[in-house]
Amino acid sequence: MLLPALCLMLAGCGGSHGDTEAGSDGGEKGHALVGTVIHLDPERGTVLVDHEEIPDTMPAMVMEFVVTRGDLDVLKEDMRIRARMVRTEDGYALRQIWPIDREKDGIIEAAGSALRQDTVIRGRGAYREVGENLPDFALYDQTGEVVQVERFRGRQIVLNFIFTRCPDPKMCPASTAKMMRLQADARKKGVANLELISITLDPEYDTPGVLSEYARSRGIDTSNFTFLTGPETAIRDLLLQMGVLAFPEGGLIRHTLATMLIDEKGVIIYRTDSSGWETEGFLDRLRVGGGST
């Protein structure tokens, strides 16, 4: 019921809303796995896991699995994980690795429930206009840590939505490159309190480890550039509230783009809804140093 109204509101926000992007599903078949990390071997790119029984497939045992460099950045010894085990030419590998932590999961779940309730209460007015506050949320970053909105209070934020499997160089890759350029230009300008945030549109695939690898492979400075992922329901509510359309189509993901500037008090003060945005539009609005508005 919210989608037609959201489309109408998007059309009135300015910028181009015709930009859409498609991404390949490309999922591998595998088996769900739950276990505890015993040892990490960065040189071999493997992790030793004491996993529970995989019904109709494998008894509980300690096994070595191949993992990505990004996952090695996130994993720690004694960490409980859930993942998907796949068979490869070199043995077994783990994909879609998520940390299991009762306290962290509780924070994410509580924030997601509050965001869901807020979206329902707002109804057809779910979309947040320029001048409204950024909604509260809690998600996992590229290191596997929980990030809540409160962490960014007192900081100027530039926020967008991307996904790592983007096939169109004019869409998400271009947006990430512009965020990197904005990060560098803002530093040269003397903006000391800038945070850049990219939230995934594809949380099923974009785990913390995948986001870590995405940042690493592009040489991104993550000291003030955070990539976020989490439950699909929370991402969907954020998309509704931030005015971004995203939907599957034939195994693909199609979506509109939006890049927003949020001030130190958490108020959305500027946005552009096109892939053709330029860094100058944000640089001109960023205050040097910081302070309250």
How far is Cα 172 from Cα 165, in angstroms, rounded to an integer? 9
Kind and range of the H or E element at 73? helix 69-74
And the tokens for 163?
């996904």
Whole-angstrom distance, CA of residue 179 vs CA of residue 166:
16
The token pair at 31 is: 């088996």
Residue with tokens 């077994």: 92
Per-residue pLDDT of the chain (293 residues; tens, 9 = 90+): 344 333 433 333 333 334 555 544 445 689 999 999 999 999 999 999 999 999 999 999 999 999 999 999 999 999 999 999 999 988 999 999 999 999 999 999 999 999 999 999 999 999 999 999 999 999 999 999 999 999 999 999 999 999 999 888 888 999 999 999 999 999 999 999 999 999 999 999 999 999 999 999 999 999 999 999 999 999 999 999 999 998 877 666 888 999 999 999 999 999 999 888 899 999 999 988 654 43
**For 205-256, what is the HEC assignment?**
CCCHHHHHHHHHHCCCCCCCEEEEECCHHHHHHHHHHHCCCEEEECCEEEEC
Q: CB within 8 A of 93, min separation 6: which ones?
A: 65, 66, 67, 85, 86
The CATH code of domain 31-102 reads 2.40.50.320
Can you tell me the distance from the alpha carbon of 247 to that of 255, in angstroms, rounded to the nearest whole number? Answer: 6
Q: Is the dihedral of CA 181, 258, 254, 140 positive or negative?
A: positive
| pLDDT at residue 13, as a whole number | 33
Per domain, the residue ranges of the chain are 2-24+128-283, 31-102
What CATH number is given for 2-24+128-283 in this structure?
3.40.30.10
DSSP E strand boundaries for 11-130: 31-41, 46-51, 61-66, 80-88, 91-100
Distance CA 254, CA 231 (A): 19
Per-residue confidence (pLDDT) for residue 16, from 0 to 100: 36
Give me the half-sphere count of Cα atoms (radius 13 Å) on the Cβ side of residue 45: 10
In the beta sheet, which residues pair with residue 254?
A: 247
CA 215 to chain centre: 11
Residue 49 and residue 35: Cα distance in Å, rounded? 6
